[in-house]
């Protein structure tokens, strides 16, 4: 994940529709550059 892609939301557009959950915005910057989705457990890391 890059700062240009913010705000971070999950699920990402590339995720399959059948495997989807309600969209949630994750405060990756406020969490020190790493955030986990509370629904699916996907881990996101800010690389820049």
What is the model's pTM? 0.83
Average pLDDT across the chain, whole number = 93
Mean pLDDT of 19-44: 94
Q: How many domains does the chain have?
A: 1
Domain, as residue range, for 34: 3-45
Residue 18 has pLDDT above 90, yes or no: no
Residue 45 tokens read as 């890391």
Measured CA distances, 48 to 13, 18, 22, 30, 42 (Å): 21, 31, 27, 14, 19
Q: What percent of the chain has pLDDT over 90?
A: 77
Q: What letters, b where the CB count within 10 A reaches 16 and e where it falls short, cover 23-34?
A: eeebebeeeeee
């Amino acid at each position: 994940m890059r700062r240009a892609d913010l705000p971070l939301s999950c699920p990402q557009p590339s995720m399959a529709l059948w495997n989807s959950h309600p969209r949630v915005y994750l405060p990756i910057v406020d969490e020190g550059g790493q955030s986990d989705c509370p629904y699916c457990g996907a881990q996101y890391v800010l690389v820049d």
